[in-house]
Amino acid sequence: MRQATMRVAASWDEEDDRLRDIPETGVGPVDRADPEPIDARALYADLTGLLERLHRRRLDVVRLGLEGIGVVDINASQGLLLLSIGDGEVPVRDLLQRGYHQTSSASYNIKKLVDYGYLEQIRSIHDRRAVRLRLGESGHRVADRLRALDDRLAQIAIDEAGASAAMQETIVTLKKLDRIWDDFISFG
Helix axes 137-159, 76-85, angle to 10 degrees: 90
- DSSP-assigned beta bridge partners for residue 131: 123
What dihedral angle (degrees, nearest 10) is formed by the CA atoms of 74, 95, 119, 63? Answer: 20
pLDDT average, residue stretch 88-101 = 80
- DSSP-assigned beta bridge partners for residue 27: 37
What is the per-residue pLDDT across 126-182, written as a single tens digit (0 to 9) for each? 887 788 999 999 999 999 999 999 999 999 988 877 788 888 999 999 999 999 999
Q: Hey, what domains does the chain have and what are their CATH numbers?
A: 37-183 (1.10.10.10)
Out of 36-40, 41-45, 146-150, 172-176, least confident range: 36-40
Q: Which helix (H) or strand (E) holds 27?
A: none
Q: Is 110 exposed, middle or buried (0-12, 13-18, 19+ CB in 10 A)?
A: buried
Q: What is the DSSP letter of 112?
A: H
pLDDT average, residue stretch 79-91 = 89
